[in-house]
Amino acid sequence: MTSPPAPVPSPADAVPVIELRDLHKAYGPLEVIRGISLRAPRGHVVTLIGSSGSGKSTLLRCCNLLEYSQSGEVLFEGEPVRWKAAGAGRLPADRNQLRRIRTNLSMVFQQFNLWAHLTILQNVTEAPVTVLGQDRAQVEDRARKLLAKVGIADKADAWPAQLSGGQQQRAAIARALCMEPRALLFDEPTSALDPELQQEVVRVIKDLAGEHRTMILVTHDMRLAADVSDHVVFLHQGRIEEEGPPDQMFRAPRTDRLRQFLSATMMA
């Protein structure tokens, strides 16, 4: 199946969906993010790689404002997040802005986080109906199409406990898509799955990348990163050690630290 052609850029496309400028984040004395700047252009896949503890997941949560940085700027489609106070006490100053940004950035977690007391269809439709106030019939129609898209149309009326891990993660992706977000954020979406089930989810992510959706992906799967990324960022001890297009990063890394990381992960 051939991927659709890349969309023709417009002036609005020049503004990244998500941009971080000199971001810092600490937990007490432990500085986890140390001055990171990052851009996620519209229609591009940016992948964060690095060892456990390098700051990947924290950085992703700062993008979605699930974690609050202590300094630096977070911009959504060119609009800077407004803050009050500073340092460890820094908080978003505008709750309406916070809500709007969060509802336009859908996150898929390592653990599927499906509501056990709702069917798969109800899981997918709940947020658009209750948070966005959209018409239930229209949302259900969209949700069924998305469940078909991720290959589990026949599981709409099933309970989460009746699905495999790979099916649950695909349901979580359909739930994220049903919000019609500006960008998708993936936090290790395959790491809780057995290798066979991982491939179910990998295929869906590759399909989404082929549709030129804006995504930031945190993963330990270097093959996935190489296949879907427009830009790869290697984090080490809370800083960007190296970044660039996947061919450069995986075939001709410039730093010893990235070479060591790739050697260890490719052999695992």
Name, in order, each residue with C-beta under 8 angstroms of 123's C-beta and a sequence gap of 6 or more: 114, 115, 160, 171, 175
Banded model confidence at residue 1, pLDDT cuts 50, 70, 90? very low
Left, alpha or beta for 254 (phi > 0: left; psi -120 to 50: alpha)?
alpha
192 within some domain = no
Task: State the pLDDT at residue 34.
Answer: 97
Range with the poorest average pLDDT among 67-76, 97-106, 160-169, 194-203: 194-203
Task: State the pLDDT at residue 5.
Answer: 57
Task: State the pLDDT at residue 84.
Answer: 95
Task: State the pLDDT at residue 12.
Answer: 54
122 within some domain = no
Task: State the pLDDT at residue 13.
Answer: 63
Banded model confidence at residue 6, pLDDT cuts 50, 70, 90? low
178 within some domain = no
Q: What percent of the chain has pLDDT over 90?
A: 87
91 within some domain = yes
Task: State the pLDDT at residue 265.
Answer: 86
215 within some domain = yes
* CATH number, domain with residue 98: 3.40.50.300
249 within some domain = yes
Res. 11: pLDDT tops 70: no
230 within some domain = yes
pTM here is 0.92
Res. 10: pLDDT tops 60: no
Task: Name the phi and psi angles at 265, rounded to 5.
Answer: -75, -35
Q: What is the distance between the alpha carbons of residues 260 and 264, in angstroms, rounded to a whole number? A: 6
Res. 14: pLDDT tops 90: no
Task: State the pLDDT at residue 7.
Answer: 53
Banded model confidence at residue 194, pLDDT cuts 50, 70, 90? confident
Domain range for 44 = 15-104+211-268
Instruction: Please state the three-class secondary structure of the chain as a single string.
Output: CCCCCCCCCCHHHHCCCEEEEEEEEEECCEEEEEEEEEEECCCCEEEEECCCCCCHHHHHHHHCCCCCCCEEEEEECCEECCEECCHHHCEECCHHHHHHHHHCEEEECCCCCCCCCCCHHHHHHHHHHHCCCCCHHHHHHHHHHHHHHCCCHHHCCCCHHHCCHHHHHHHHHHHHHHCCCCEEEEECCCCCCCHHHHHHHHHHHHHHHHCCCCEEEECCCHHHHHHHCCEEEEEECCEEEEEECHHHHHHCCCCHHHHHHHHHHHHC
Q: How many structural domains compose the chain?
A: 1
pLDDT in tens, 198-220: 999 999 999 999 999 999 999 99
150 within some domain = no
Left, alpha or beta for 263 (phi > 0: left; psi -120 to 50: alpha)?
alpha
